[in-house]
Amino acid sequence: MEATNYSCKILIVGGSVAGQALANMLERVGIDFVVLEAGSKIDPSVGGGISVQPQMSRILDQIGFYGDEGDAIRNGIQDLDNHVSVRHQQGNTIFEFDGLADALQKRHGYPVVFVERQTLLRTLYDNMHNKHKVLLQKRFVKLEYSDDKVVLTTQDGCTYEGDALVGADGMHSPVRKEMHRLAHKLSPGYFDKDEYSLVPCLYKCIWGISHPTPSIESGSIHVVMGKDHSYSLFAGREKLYWFLYVKNASTMHGKQVPRYTAEDEQQLAEQYFEGRSRGKALGRLAAMWQLRL
């Protein structure tokens, strides 16, 4: 696709998957942008694995990630997820399905693939031609609106002006808070006074990456269902990616949602992996906790 240059500029706060994907799209169609990332690396080793579904692959394909332009994602992916097993926490089979990746490929044109978040971030960055527009150690602190332009300030005192601002800076988004502050100033009463507090949180999650084990077939997905909790495990070519989801005792909103510590993680893992009798399926997942990287 040949880019057409547009006379506008988009400010993107956050070098996340969403932030970098948007930057790739804007570059593709000739819209100017700058990405402001608070961290010192564009691909930090933070976060677990990401399942790239067919609908996401369709978008990535349009910005040069598949086919004649490099097949960039597949160079970093794990094996395709082709066998799915869903069990009760004591190991009883709920259902099993073979051929998932093949079926999705046939129906949607793309399979399901699994990739580390770090790898996906690096791939998105490498796909951009104008890498000088991605700036590191630029922590957002303030937003102002002037003459149909947005002006933001970073912690180091630099200012950036654009036609629109996109917050891709996570759940506890400073951009969202500043947008609300500015909206209340410019249009009092238009938004709820504390709209941020309406965002609900029903579950907490532990994720991990572990060494592979011969008892779990590469390319398979395993799900274990329990009361108010569940586990999922994705077996890649060289690593295992797993998640424990636990329902909160009550629904939390906005500022009530905590930032968990390593001690919180350890206590939750002991409660669900070690503190109860378990069947074979749960025993395998408990082993992943011991084998984590």
Asked whether the predicted pLDDT for residue 53 surpasses 80, the reply is yes
Cα–Cα distance measured from residue 60 to residue 36, given in angstroms and rounded to the nearest whole number: 22
CA neighbor of 20 nearest in space, from 79, 72, 74:
72
Whether the predicted pLDDT of 1 surpasses 90: no
Tens of pLDDT, residue by residue over 248-262, are 999 998 888 888 999
pLDDT computed for residue 73 by the predictor: 57
The region of weakest confidence among 44-58, 98-112, 150-164, 278-292 is 278-292
62: which DSSP letter? H
Q: What is the DSSP string of 226-277?
A: ETTEEEEEEE-SS-EEEEEEEEEEEEEEGGGSPPPPHHHHHHHHIIIIISS-
pLDDT of residue 70: 45
Spell out the domains of the chain, with CATH numbers in brackets.
Answer: 200-290 (3.30.9.30)
Predicted local confidence at residue 75, as pLDDT: 56
Please choose, from the candidates 109, 102, 63, 59, the residue with its C-alpha nearest in 3D space to the C-alpha of residue 79.
Answer: 102
Provide the mean pLDDT of the chain. Answer: 85
Q: Are 116 and 76 in contact (CB under 8 A)?
A: yes
Three-class SS state of 81? coil
Band (69; pLDDT cuts 50, 70, 90): very low
* Tens-digit pLDDT profile for residues 219-231: 888 898 989 999 8
pLDDT of residue 82 exceeding 80, the answer is: no
Neighbouring-strand partners of residue 115? 50
Task: Return the pLDDT at 241.
Answer: 86
DSSP 149: E
| Per-residue confidence band for 90, with pLDDT thresholds at 50, 70 and 90 | confident
Note the pLDDT tens digit of each residue in 103-119: 888 999 887 777 888 88
Average pLDDT over residues 51-70: 78
pLDDT at 275: 47
Token pair 């997942």: residue: 285
pTM: 0.84
Q: Which two tokens stand for residue 197?
A: 């507090």
Query: Is 190 a known active-site residue?
Result: no
Q: Is residue 149's pLDDT more than 90?
A: yes
**Could you tell me which residue, 229 or 48, shows the higher pLDDT?**
229
Helix (H, G, I), strand (E, B) or coil at 35: strand
Burial readout 89-114 (b: 16 or more C-beta within 10 A, e: otherwise): beeeeeeeeeebbeebbeeeebbbbb
Tell me the average pLDDT across 160-179: 92
Among 110, 231, 241, 272, the one annotated catalytic: 231
Dig out the tokens for 283 from the structure. 């025993």
